[in-house]
Amino acid sequence: MEDTDKKILSFHKGKKLPHFPKEEYETRLAKAKELMGKYDIDALLLFSPENLYYYTGFKKENFAIEKRWRRGAIIPKVGNPVMLMGNEVFFNAIASSWVEDIRGWGGKPEFGRPQDFMETFTKIIKDLDLYKKTLGMELWERTTAIEVDLTWIEFDDLKRRLPEAKIVDAGEMIWEQRMVKTEHEIKIIKELASIVNKGFKAGLNAVREGTSEREIINAIYQTMISEGLLWNQPMWGRIPIRGPGHYHAGIMGPQRTVLKKGDMLMFDGGPCHMGYWSDIQRNACVGEPPPLQRKLYDAALEGLDAALSAIKPGIRAGDVYWAASERMSKIDKRFSIIRNVFAGHGLGLHTHEPPYLDPRGDQADIIIKEGMYLAVEISALDLPEFKVIGGFPEDDILVTRDGYQNLTKDIPRSLWIA
Amino acid sequence: MKEKWVDLMEDDVVLSYQREVRFPRFPQDEYERRISKIQELMVRYGIDALLLFAPENIYYYTGFKKENFAVEKRWRRGAVIPQKGGVVMLMGNEVFFNAALTSWVKDIRPWGGPVELGRPQNFIEAYVQLIKQLDLHHRALGMEIWEDSPAIQVDLTYFEYDQLRRALPEAKITDAGNLIWEQRMVKTPFEIGVIRELSSITNKGFKAGLEAIREGVTERDIIREMFKVMINAGLDNEPMLNRIPLKGPGHYHAAIMGPHDTVLKKGDMLQFDGGPCHKGYWSDVQRNACVGEPPPLERKLYDASLEAQQAAIRIIKPGIRAKDIHKVATDKLLSIDPTIDVNRCVFVGHGLGLHTHEPPYLIPEGKQADTLIREGMYLAVEVSAFDAPEFRVIGGFPEDNILVTKDGYEILTKDVPNHLWIG
């Protein structure tokens, strides 16, 4: 470590503001190493903010992705992780991450640190004797993609600098671990659910003639912030709303249209709490809905309940989809859930992540395990006219030893009439 | 061109009931001006078409705003802006109808969704086919490569990018970063209107934050208060994306941490940084505060940084270079106190807009340092004076957001008290 950095740290050493306990870090690391054995990977090279958070405890607190902010981690199968952090976040990483070997780069040349991120990162790989080894990267070749704070040209640069390494996709390995939540994660998820339930109830209660979608969303945020939501920094939330004029368009932003009798709404999404997301849907009507709307909503809710009843460890993700589909086609053949690309998805550090409750394909074959955190959502829509908003309830659940726990059942599940 | 897609009966039926740009993000003439400006720049830079995948560029050039945080392949969306001719968008199942309601682009095509809908099922293949249909596959194509400009997030993995360039072997793929930033650095009158709304909300939030400081509250309590006030003031952003880190006891030396649950006591010092996002546009403000009377060193550092920041702002007008602002700030700091470590001023500010940090960067050297300041730029100016290397006190680091006007500047955040706040 450079002299100036050492001086600063000599005044501040020992002070920790961690995002999770040290044992949690060690458990995650040991599991990653075990999976690296299984997948034949000698080291993980990580650049995506969520993977850095999960594996090192360093949480990205801003939205910048400029090259001057670059940060990365190397997690070898044997030996200790190393992080390389840009000037602006180097001290934050030391205060918040459990990784012992954290190195700085960038800032003014006078700070005495290396000035080129990729050159330094490759040098660490060489020093760790990993440059001829199999390196797992966030390529997302066959899995769900998440954002990697690295441009294409930097990927090309890194590959050029490591001609003897075998670069492979680490996506499957990472998701195998992250799909199943740890006890620590489940604790946060339960806090989140309690905040979200209160927020959504406030949202439903705010629906009335004369108000706007925008005002309803504001009521939800005010409630959630009072309930402790702002434990998340940066603040991320996503509660799109679907209302008059956009019944057919998913996840639009809330509009300023003033609601009148006969208007229908769909709430979707949820906030992020300490990095973890919720994702809920409910439908509401201003005044009595037309019979078609009630019929569609009730069918969707029955489909959702059928999907939920199927959930327990050992089934396939696709089984959840087909449980809903089968039940709904019994109600009415036209409720074949053709518009439902999936019946839900995993949740966690992303709003959507594996496993996807797809009808077919790779994801459909994923085995549901205890500790998975899932959003289950089933639609019955008025296709193709969208004269009414239709039904599209969604609940967040935890897979338990014998079945599941519905975390969002406290939000009224019937069609809400305001 | 449309014939290829008419077999998508169901989409056509849905659109026949709903086709109307009913919820635009900006007016049609704003869209047309943005497109004609970029097409003019494409001539100058020798680019035949722009291939866009970054959410902020798609928002800026088409009016479609990404409303979620998903980056899965099944959500992929992209736009093609040819140097001559109309813009074409290729949108995933979940956002196709949204794009039709919000974007002024006439030619919006869907992909993905249930196989029964008969749409193309592979985004990269469909996108390549589109480029071939437009006869652009052997032309100079500008992409978001960010070779020598600040990078922004592109919702396309390296693997997909690699597939795309392999499928277009005759195309000349070049970096479009410089031309995009040349346009986006200078805000349009419409953007300036949004930025003024944002500033008014930000100012209210920061005042509430300062007023919430007292012994016994936590950093998180203060930030909560700020968000509640800003939401009530009309903060209009979905998804809700915000960033107001707070620096406080135990992390004076670490930028942009927290906030934390530490209960504030007499003698503690704070730094506010960041700001909210409104209709896609960001603010970025800093203020320092103390719980009770600060030690003389803190007051000295804060006053020095404020004086240097004010000096830096005063020289802003069209025609100067980004580095001139940096020089005025550091010269002023040294004239006040030669022992202040001006190396800590890595930059003294940056552009703002659809990103919290974007060009121009107010840095002393390098390519960005030579950027000419122009009317319509929206800048954050921030100058630090720290107790380095000890960081026994939090130091001074005021930051204001300004608009470059015809003859000078306007400080948008002047309503947030800028003296060292004592709570």
Copy the structure tokens of residue A247.
């019944």
* Residues B83, B123 within the same domain: yes
Q: Quote the longest CA-to-CA distance of chain A.
A: 74
Question: pLDDT tens, B86-117?
Answer: 999 999 988 888 898 899 999 999 999 877 77
| Interface residue A246 vs chain B (CB under 8 A) | yes
Q: Nearest CA to A317 among A342, A350, A335, A292?
A: A342
CATH number, domain A3-178? 3.40.350.10
pTM above 0.90, yes or no: yes
Helix, strand, coil percentages for chain A (3-state, nearest 5): 40, 20, 40
Query: What ipTM was estimated for this complex?
Result: 0.94
Nearest CB to A64: which of B236, B251, B356? B356
pLDDT at position A369 is 98
Question: pLDDT tens, A202-252?
Answer: 999 999 999 999 899 999 999 999 998 876 677 777 777 777 777 777 667
| Interface residue A234 vs chain B (CB under 8 A) | yes
State how many domains chain B has. Answer: 2
* Residues B167, B212 within the same domain: no
- SS3 of residue B349 by DSSP: strand
Question: pLDDT tens, B326-361?
Answer: 999 999 999 999 999 888 888 999 999 999 999 999
Looking at the predicted structure, is the pLDDT value of residue B6 above 80?
A: no
- Final residue before a domain boundary, out of B131, B165, B184: B184
Q: Where in chain A is the domain with CATH 3.90.230.10?
A: 183-417
Cβ count within 10 A of residue A126:
12
Q: Say how far apart CA B306 and CA B398 lie, in whole Å.
A: 6
- SS3 of residue B264 by DSSP: coil
Q: Report the residue of B76, B77, B253, B367 to disrupt the A interface, i.e. the one with the largest count of A CBs within 10 Å.
A: B253
Question: pLDDT tens, A400-416?
Answer: 999 999 999 999 999 99
> E-assigned strands of A138-201?
166-169
* Residues B178, B280 within the same domain: no
Taking contacts as CB-CB distances below 8 angstroms, the residues of chain B near A92 are 251, 254-257
- Final residue before a domain boundary, out of B184, B213, B230: B184
Size of interface A-B (CB pairs under 8 A): 243
Q: Say how far apart CA B343 and CA A107 lie, in whole Å.
A: 9
* Residues B221, B358 within the same domain: yes
State the fold for domain A183-417: Creatine Amidinohydrolase (3.90.230)
Q: Report the residue of A3, A16, A115, A151 to disrupt the B interface, i.e. the one with the largest count of B CBs within 10 Å.
A: A151
* Residues B250, B394 within the same domain: yes
* Residues B230, B370 within the same domain: yes
Q: Residue-wise pLDDT tens for chain A (418 aa)? A: 677 788 888 777 666 788 999 999 999 999 999 999 999 999 999 999 999 999 999 998 877 778 888 999 999 999 999 999 998 889 889 989 999 999 999 988 888 899 999 999 999 999 999 999 999 999 998 888 888 999 999 999 999 999 999 999 999 999 999 999 999 999 999 999 999 999 999 999 999 999 999 899 999 999 999 998 876 677 777 777 777 777 777 667 788 889 999 999 999 988 889 999 999 999 999 999 999 999 999 999 999 999 999 999 999 999 999 999 999 989 987 776 556 689 999 999 999 999 999 998 999 999 999 999 999 999 998 877 888 999 999 999 999 999 999 999 999 999 999 9
Taking contacts as CB-CB distances below 8 angstroms, the residues of chain A near B155 are 147
Paired with A373 in beta bridges are: A398
Q: Nearest CA to A407 among A212, A200, A243, A215?
A: A200
* Residues B120, B135 within the same domain: yes
| Interface residue A3 vs chain B (CB under 8 A) | no
* Residues B176, B196 within the same domain: no
* Residues B316, B211 within the same domain: yes
* Chain-chain contact of A147 with B17 (C-beta, under 8 angstroms): no
All residues at 6 or more sequence positions from B388 whose CB lies less than 8 Å from its CB, including other chains: A4, A8, B341, B344
Q: Which residue of B has its CA nearest to A68?
A: B150
Q: Report the residue of B12, B13, B67, B155 to disrupt the A interface, i.e. the one with the largest count of A CBs within 10 Å.
A: B67
CATH number at residue B101: 3.40.350.10
Taking contacts as CB-CB distances below 8 angstroms, the residues of chain B near A89 are 255-256
* Residues B223, B156 within the same domain: no
Element (H, E) at B79: strand B77-82
| Interface residue A163 vs chain B (CB under 8 A) | no
Q: Where in chain A is the domain with CATH 3.40.350.10?
A: 3-178
Instruction: List the domain range (segments joined by +) for residue B134.
Output: 2-184
- Final residue before a domain boundary, out of B184, B216, B241: B184
Taking contacts as CB-CB distances below 8 angstroms, the residues of chain B near A96 are 257
* Residues B141, B21 within the same domain: yes
* Residues B201, B344 within the same domain: yes
* Chain-chain contact of B343 with A67 (C-beta, under 8 angstroms): no
Taking contacts as CB-CB distances below 8 angstroms, the residues of chain A near B17 are 248, 384-386
pLDDT at position B4 is 32
Copy the structure tokens of residue B222.
């203060």
All residues at 6 or more sequence positions from B223 whose CB lies less than 8 Å from its CB, including other chains: A230, A233, B209, B244, B246, B259
Question: pLDDT tens, B149-158?
Answer: 888 889 999 9
